[in-house]
Structure 1
């Protein structure tokens, strides 16, 4: 099916829906930066902000204008649109080539926007780290989006661009066949520590509480197991000491593993590429950090089992997360002093070696690193995903549909765009065994 007919000639190339939210305001900043350079230099990017309150949206534009010393931002167009008002969503989508949806939790507010985009021919990008939402959108809308030539690209923020594109970068950096890779995520912060807005906390609460429905959804999807090529990757324990990063580590509880698996399935089934096994972990430091984390995790899991407990967690995020989540979010200083590094340890087979015979004979280490994850790196990822859809339509999959970032962008210059924007991909070492 041809890509959304007439889409490129719409009044706005990008519309930021939920621009007055905590994350949305930083997406506004990032779109403004992109509009001045690279792909759009010499040709004005047509963009607008959308949401329920004209006053709040104008406040965000005024705030961004002051922070970036760009008074012209004050006159960016505003579209009034409510996630609970289907006609207003349809009107917004008719005017946009790509909608950047910043309104979460997506399990409650995402589907209405996806539906409106599919029905009205607008491409869609979100920053969801919620596997149930992401996979249910695939189940419900993939064939409709394909018929309309619309691209629905989920998980295009910190969940899960570093992991998904990092695996592809690692695969592309090896001369041969990559068969397995593990990633270890670490965060750095300044003297004032770090903090995340409680919108992410709420998504995690509802996601853990609803694990049963996620299992039912995956039974409906009924995917066949991916073939295991090369040595089978062993799963690590709940807490373990990693010799790779010299710290205690735990499985990463976000959407990364699920997103990477969907990408690998798409590449294997549609492009006949060798599927890569993947394990996602996060470094937590020394034994004191492990004990604190185990205690916090026990409380979190216990409270999510009951509606009363979930309400307490939502009402007092700072208390129950030991200060890591708050209704205020991080300060500008906390954001400026924070960064992330995701290190990938992969193994595979050289070009002259049969992956089905013998042991792996190549090891590779790569890194994806960048600024503060939630409100600096996430807007970079989201905006560059939107720009890639606009600028490289012929490099996208041949049919529209519901995609992961790796599936949508594996043949594009997306990683190059991320490198230039501040999320860096590097090969650390590569050795033959």
Structure 2
């Protein structure tokens, strides 16, 4: 990790709700590592950054953090401050969201000042726009810009790549089912995530227009076409009702599959993502809340109410306070992938898929434990395996950036486990169903 810059990692937005967890994780990993990791925290307020280091030092029993870790004052509205920050770090971890409002200045500053950029964004419009507008610039400067390095969308994106690797033949389609298991107090997310959803759905038309600018041709479909599921259905596998996953996973996976097809000539996978919502009572609440949400996001007053009272309008799923410590400890996730394709020696042009695979990614609480582990291990991968990343820079998804690295093994060692649950192979051409 040798560098001529003062710091290997700079955590920007360290005083934010998620940023504080990132500070703790970097401190723990730095203490465990054999090499000397140099890192710093950055944000608008020096007193608040000092307070974060103080609380982290007390929680981890590391009093040296208060004096050994440098503080950089930087503000997204002050270009010069971002330039100074980016000139000091090899990798900038951007924890300041919503990214549609605050992300672009940091991306631009990183590219202009030669720092690699990682974030935990789950906003498809921001992620895809950064690729459209900054990929060539990042490539020219030898800078990597890698978005969605948190729960959105490391488990899904690398989970598909893991499934492809484990499948013996040509994998053609995958469905993923997300299940978030919480304790008696339930679970909740922070207000920033809710705001991202509100403004993202309100501006969904812009995302469609943005995608047209890429001028991409449709990816070829290999093998049989997968029939689309309904908006709501009962999953026998999960034993609960499920709906399509509304986050960035489908967008990120699609971009990764395009990269693997165009750059590495890999067969693209058809992908659908779903999330469990529970029983009938949960379905009724979801339908009522979802209808109200869709109506309100279309009007400025509705968006104002949604962002002012997140707990009320999300039925307690999001709040300005975020989850409690007990909620975080009692929550975990599993993402199960059901894949189908053609066994080795079988021609995908003939007959129906004849082989199946089931894999799984499991981990602790997704928003503030798994996300933080994924982000920090992604940063270490950039620091230690830069030679394994594509080309010499550019804007990438996690799957595209890390497909040739050891990130899956790193994640496995830090609590995000990848495994094969089952394999099944039938006679060539025999019908299968997802």
* TM-score after normalising by structure 1: 0.97
Give the Cα–Cα distance (whole angstroms) in 2 for the partners of residues 257 and 176 of structure 1.
Answer: 23
1:348 matched to 2:325? The reply is no
State the SS of the aligned residue for 1:257. helix
Q: How does 1:195-344 map to 2 (within 5 A)?
A: 195-344=188-337
2:46 aligned with 1:51: no
Paired residue for 2:23? 28
The CA distance in 2 between the partners of 1:430 and 1:9, in whole Å, is: 48
- For the residues of structure 2 that align with 1:349 and 1:26, how far apart are their CA atoms? 43
- Deviating above 4 A after TM superposition, structure 1's stretches of 4 or more consecutive aligned residues are none
Following superposition, the deviation at residue 421 of structure 1 comes to 0.7
Q: Could you tell which deviates more after superposition, 119-128 or 345-354? A: 345-354
> Which runs of 5 or more structure 1 residues have no equivalent in the other structure?
1-5
Does residue 73 (structure 1) correspond to residue 65 (structure 2)? The answer is: yes
Q: SS at the partner of 2:3?
A: helix
SS at the partner of 2:187?
Answer: coil
**Alpha carbon RMSD of aligned pairs, Å?**
1.1
Distance in 2, Cα, partners of 1:298 & 1:111 = 31
Separation in 2, partners of 1:44, 1:395: 22
Whether the 8 Å contact between 1:242 and 1:248 is mirrored in structure 2 is yes
> What is residue 431 of structure 2 aligned with on the other side?
none
How far apart, CA to CA, are the structure 2 residues paired with 1:67 and 1:58?
A: 14
For residues 296-351 of structure 1, what are the alpha-carbon distances to aligned partners after superposition, in whole Å with 9 as ceiling and x for unaligned?
Answer: 11111111010000000000001101111100001111100000110000011111
Deviation at 1:12, TM superposition (A): 0.4
CA distance in structure 1 between the aligned counterparts of 2:291 and 2:103, rounded to whole angstroms: 29
Structure 1 residue matching 2:273: 3-state secondary structure: strand
Offset of residue 7 of structure 1: 8.8
Q: TM (normalized to structure 2)?
A: 0.97
- For 1:353 and 1:21, how far apart are their aligned partners in 2? 52
**Match for 1:90 among 55, 79, 83?**
83
Is 1:180 matched up with 2:173?
yes
Q: What secondary structure sits across from 1:35 in the alignment? A: helix
Shift of 1:244: 2.5
Write the distance in 2 (CA, Å) between the matches of 1:310 and 1:130: 17
Distance 1:355 1:346 in 2: 15
CA distance in 2, matches of 1:247, 1:323: 21
> How far apart, CA to CA, are the structure 2 residues paired with 1:284 and 1:23?
25
Give matches, 1:355-370, under 5 Å. 355-370=348-363
CA distance in 2 between counterparts of 1:310 and 1:13 reads 39
User: What secondary structure, in the 3-state scheme, does the structure 1 residue paired with 2:103 have?
Assistant: helix
Q: Distance in 2 between matches of 1:99 and 1:24?
A: 12
Tell me which residue corresponds to 1:63: 55
Distance (whole Å) between structure 2 residues aligned to residue 70 and residue 427 of structure 1: 39
**Structure 2: distance between partners of 1:415 and 1:128:** 20
TM-superposed deviation, 1:8 = 2.9
Q: Does 1:117 align with 2:110?
A: yes
Task: Determine if contact 1:7/1:97 at 8 Å carries over to the other structure.
Answer: no
Matches within 5 A, 1:393-432: 393-432=386-425
Of residues 411-420 and 67-76 in structure 1, the stretch that sits farther from structure 2 once superposed is 67-76
Q: CA deviation at 1:255?
A: 0.3
Distance in 1, Cα, partners of 2:137 & 2:200: 26
Matches of 1:121 and 1:244, distance apart in 2: 47
What is the rounded CA distance, in whole Å, between the counterparts of 1:10 and 1:238 in structure 2?
A: 50
